[in-house]
Structure 1
Amino acid sequence: MKILVIGLDAAAPEILLGDDRLATIRSLMEVGCYGRLESVVPPASEPAWMCLATGQDPGSLGVYGSRNRTDRSYKAPGSIDARSIQAPAIWDRVAESGGRSILVGVPPDHPPRPVNGIAVGGLFTPDATEGAYTHPPELAATIEKLVGTYPVDAGGLRSDDEAALRDQILDASRKQFALVRHLIENEPWDYFQLVETGLDRIQRAFWRHHDPEHVLHTPDSPFADVVRDYYLHLDGELATVLDLLTEDTLVLVVSAHGARRPDGGFRLDEWLVREGLLALKPDPEQATPAADLDVDWGRTRAWSEAGDSAAVFLNVKGREPEGTIDPADYESFHDELKARLEAVAGPDGEPLGALVFKPEEVYQTVRNVAPDLIVDFGGLDGCNPAQHGAFILASPQLPPFGEIEGARLLDVAPTLLELAGHPPLPDAPGRNLLQGLKPADSDDAPPIDDDELVRDRLRGLGYIG
């Protein structure tokens, strides 16, 4: 069985699974299974997409975000790339079975992965016009003939010309799907994965127009429908992809995390300074990026690296160069700081509801230089990652199972590999989502042995020619 994974970065389950106008998605849900999908901690595109592909959590991968400490020094964290993750992925298992894979925009995707097949860069690729962004390199010339300069990313999100930004993201997505259709039709493959990041970009830029409860919402905005219209655009593009498939293909539409509005901002470094945990020399007169702060490490107990979720590090004697926390006091201070962060209140005096995690409590293994705490305040952009994404899984070879509860991102790889007959990944803690389940029992769902009815419904989608 072939596997096609259509990744929609930051697709919100309440829209993807709840908007009846998404006819293609609705039809896949009807003949397959679907549900909310619990992401990893932190619920960010990096490392979440590789957690999906490897079946491993961020601690086991040793990658905790787009930037990670490379050692115990105080230097700025290093950016991750495709070489940062060495764990075997779905495409490695497919290759061991003699199959070919095509990867389009699966982050981190630079430099291009030397897969048994084809890899095309996306979000992490600096620029498609400079250096190699494809494997093999000569594929770039074919892409240029097909769509012109390939848009590895939709570009800046803070443009004053919102109409131009919307059109730019839409154009990039259309070019990406044109490439996907070309590769499906013209290249041999057993596993194909696309990660479309335009949805994340659209939501970060336009969620405030979409959500009436957003703190920056403008009533009667001409961009109020941009987010939902983009889901309609993706639904239409998905239909054109399904048109090209044969009935031996397992289709997964998935988001590695969801989307939500922010409920305000929080300057964690400023809080650490105010609490006497981060000492500066001299104190800055205005807000300063963490990387530019002149830290007095001999008087500092904790510092942070911000992002959609913040990484907090403790300054431990014998571990960091100028550590101030005695190792014997580490656990008590660790617990104390976690409790203090969870209790942080907003302007109204009510707790902000920060989620604070110890890596060793949420990960199977903790590798490399992990944060001591991971803090999710949920207030850094126009739209932030949410803990739950969504999935829809369908194939003419499977009966419909309807809605599945309790699905986790780490269950995806074990499910796909088992259904397609490939060996499992080593040490992957997930499970086959369909194991032990009975097909859905509903009046309009085809019975388990009525394969032709399933095929008829997928023919109605153009899934089967």
Structure 2
Amino acid sequence: MTRKRLLVLGLDSVPPQLLYEDLRDLTSNLQLFLDIKGILLSNYPPITVPMWGVMLTGRSAGELGVYGFRHRRPGDVGVSYVVSSRSIPGGWVWDVLGGRLGLRSLVVGVPPGYPARRVRGWFVSCFLTPGVDRAFAWPPGIRGEVLAAGGGDYVFDVKYRSGDKEGVRRGLWRLAETQFRVVRHLLRSKPWDFAMYMHIGTDRVHHAFWKYWDPEHPRYPGEGNPYEDVIPEYYALVDRLVGELLEELPRDTEVIVVSDHGAKAMKGAFAINQWLVEQGYLKLREQPRKPGVDLEWSMIDWSRTVAWAWGGYYSRVYINLKGREPQGIVGREEYWSVVEQLKRDIEKIRGPDGEKWNNKAYHPTELYPEVRGDAPDLMVYLDNLSWRPAGTIGWPSIYLEENDRGPDDAVHDWLGIIGGNAEVLKDFVKGGGLVPIQKVKSIILAHYGLEPEEDVDR
């Protein structure tokens, strides 16, 4: 059986409106192979890590035990560990292609991918990589080749929460040009059967420059501001680099382009721990002496605390549970009543002017067929993701105009993109309808003639 090669191009955080409508005229190379256009429906939580893992293993975040790029262990109120490639050891689509069909895969930038995964083929790790002096390439022998193709270096990410907007812009251009140059080299020089490249820069440009581009953003500085064209220019840059990349593809290659979630304007941040204090769930030994203080273990009166939270694009709330937390006070017999009361209270939160919000709070068992790993007790989405939960305390109000972790203009959204010229898409993307993110693995397997039930590693 002769199979066409498949390239999956991942563009992190790209929403349908931008690629299919607003920036269509600036993305002519991408439009050339978008014969089929669909809408990807992300899952819980719509966060870069774990959504690429959900997409390419076909398993939910609960089954994977990955709920964000950082996790806490029971008993730790602060940051405990960052997810790595070891957090999702197997079951990826390239594992199936290699194990069942003996196909060689070329994978670049797919998270969580550090340390570099051992694959049947070649792997370059993702934005979680600390630097080029680490184990970022598989097999290790291609490390020098990657660096040489990148002009002596390789850029994994850019610091996007920064007031130095010129520096962020320069970093984004360097990231794109370096990574695409390396990917072109690898596509040209390796005898691959399946290839995937995930580009993180589209996510970063949204977070850093959305308010300058979107007139509907609550903090839009007005027409003619110095950064209003950064997002369109970056999409045009990526499109040019995609065009150059397409020239490297063998003639027997089909293409799928996909994002893991979408993006939209951040209306503001909500001080979730400060709200928990106001509601009596979280008790402090003393009030913070300045605004924007991180919640630390020593600040909390654990003998009277019922719950506390982490901030992020969604909030993870933890119950001070007896037998699990070092100074837990909530008994197992009352756990579910506390969870349900917290849910009701969260869903009643309103906006700064009393406006009704669309809030959702879920226990992980409501979302996933299996809950593994260090899961939170509640997963909280404020105003349909438009407000970012802030974990810091000491603010004069629970409503913050800006993100508490540095400049950030965008939040994530539920809808992403899926399209391309691959024939297999016709069976899954019909009438521009929704494609659940967990179906993408099945689409890739179907391209190579494998049914989902044949995925023995699932």
Return the offset for 1:399.
6.2
* Aligned position for 2:322: 317
* Residue equivalent to 2:443: 415
Q: In structure 1, how many angstroms separate the alpha carbons of the residues matched to 2:424 and 2:219?
A: 47
CA distance in 2, matches of 1:291, 1:16: 42
Residues 380-404 of structure 1 show CA distances to partners (whole Å, capped at 9, x for unaligned) of 4311111111111323687696643
1:90 paired residue number = 93
- Residues 412-451 of structure 1 mapped to structure 2, 5 A cutoff: 412-422=440-450, 424=452, 425-426=455-456
Rounded to whole Å, the distance in 1 between the matches of 2:120 and 2:90 is: 16
CA–CA separation in structure 1 for the residues paired with 2:72 and 2:124:
27
> In the alignment, residue 136 of structure 1 is paired with which amino acid?
P
Aligned to 2:183: 180
The farther-off stretch of 147-156 and 210-219 is: 147-156
The alignment of Structure 1 onto Structure 2 pairs a total of residues equal to 425
Q: Is the 8 A contact 1:111 1:125 kept in 2?
A: yes
1:266 alignment partner, SS class:
strand
- The reply on whether 1:278 has 2:282 as its aligned counterpart is yes
Q: What is the alpha-carbon distance in structure 2 between the residues aligned to residue 418 and residue 111 of structure 1?
A: 29
Distance verdict in 2 for CA 1:370–1:249, change over 3 Å: same
Determine if the alignment matches structure 1 residue 234 to structure 2 residue 238: yes
The question of whether the paired residues in 2 share the 8 Å contact of 1:47 and 1:65 is answered with yes
Q: Deviations over 1:192-244 (max 9, x none)?
A: 11110111111111101011121221112121111122122222222222222
Query: 1:190 aligns to what?
Result: 193
- Counterpart selection for 1:252 from 245, 253, 256: 256
Deviations 1:277-309 (CA, angstroms, capped at 9, x unpaired): 111222322231134662222211111111111
Structure 2's unaligned 5+ residue stretches are 389-402
Deviations 1:108-137 (A, max 9, x none): 121111111111122100011x22221122
Instruction: Report the alpha carbon displacement of residue 148 of structure 1 after superposing the two structures with TM.
Output: 2.5
Provide the rounded CA distance (Å) in 1 between the counterparts of 2:456 and 2:304.
44
Distance 1:412 1:20, change over 3 A: same
Q: What CA distance in whole angstroms lies between the structure 2 residues aligned with 1:382 and 1:363?
A: 30
Alignment partners' CA distance in 1, 2:377 and 2:92: 27
- Matching of residue 43 in structure 1 with residue 70 in structure 2: no
- Give a deviation string over 1:29-48, Cα, whole Å, max 9, x none: 23xx2211111111000001
Q: Secondary structure at the match of 2:269?
A: coil
SS in 2 for 1:7: strand
SS at match of 1:17: helix
Equivalent residue, structure 2, for 1:387: 414
Contact 1:122 1:152 in 2 (8 A): no
Q: Percent identity?
A: 33
With 288-297 and 382-391 compared, the bigger mean Cα shift is at 288-297
C-alpha distance 166-104 of structure 1, shift in aligned 2 (>3 A): same
Aligned counterpart for 1:328 among listed residues 320, 325, 333: 333
Provide the residue aligned with 2:365 in structure 1: 360
Asked if 1:166 corresponds to 2:204, the answer is no
SS of the equivalent of 1:299 reads coil
Q: Distance in 2 between matches of 1:157 and 1:398?
A: 34
Match of 1:373 in 2: 378
Deviates more, 1:308-317 or 1:321-330: 321-330
TM-score by length of 1: 0.86
- Aligned partner letter, 1:360: T
What secondary structure, in the 3-state scheme, does the structure 2 residue paired with 1:138 have?
helix
* Structure 1, unpaired ranges of 5+: 429-465
C-alpha distance in 1, partners of 2:78/2:221?
41
Report the residue type matching 2:376 in the other structure: P
CA distance in 1, matches of 2:9, 2:93: 14
Cross-structure match for 2:400: none
Secondary structure in 2 aligned to 1:411?
helix
Deviates more, 1:336-345 or 1:139-148: 139-148
The 1-side partners of 2:446 and 2:323 are apart by 46
Tell whether the 8 Å contact from 2:44 to 2:61 is kept in structure 1 after alignment: yes
Q: Partner letter of residue 370 of structure 2? A: T
Instruction: After TM superposition, give the deviation of residue 350 of structure 1 in Å.
Output: 1.4
Partner of 1:406: 434
Helix, strand or coil at the partner of 1:296:
coil
Counterparts of 1:214 and 1:150, CA distance in 2: 36
* TM-score, scaled relative to structure 2: 0.87
